[in-house]
Amino acid sequence: MSSDASPSSADRSIWAGVLIGIGISAFIDETVFHQLLHWHHFYDRSTPAVGLVSDGLFHAFGWFAVVIGLVMVIDLVRRTALSTRALTGGILLGAGGFQLYDGTIQHKILRLHQIRYNVDIAPYDWTWNVIAGVLVLIGAVLLRRVLRGRAGRR
């Protein structure tokens, strides 16, 4: 695993991480909030059967993202071109970015579902989006260091 990855290797490591992060975030959302806690479905504006189908499609999307990201990682490892910092930054950026998208676009703008129903959702919304913002911030700081280090080697 190279810390001196070429620009294209660092970029591929970032994108692999973003896909893995999106998939991890989707998996946690689906498993914890949909299946274990039964707080909501991916699409709550129809029947429970439609909600379950939407959960299945959402779950498949998350796993496809993880699998594609892992295939990219395997390829990078095989070429000894994986940048672990870029991968880690990408994972955090992808997970936080997806969670922020979910909390703002899906919850508030499209109103596909809320985190919970029949409770004051403000604390849930704040917690959801603050955690997302922290993940994005940490991922962005890591990626900035990777990209700045890459520029310094030119």
Asked whether residue 2 is domain-assigned, the answer is no
Longest dimension (CA), the chain: 57
pLDDT in tens, 88-144: 999 999 999 999 999 999 999 998 888 888 999 999 999 999 999 999 999 999 999
Parent domain of 99: 7-152
Q: Please report whether residue 1 resides in a domain.
A: no
Quickly list H helices, the chain: 7-28, 48-78, 84-101, 122-152
Domain count, the chain: 1
Q: Which amino acid is at 38?
A: H
% of the chain beyond a pLDDT of 90: 69
The total of other beta-carbon atoms located within 10 Å of residue 53's CB is: 15
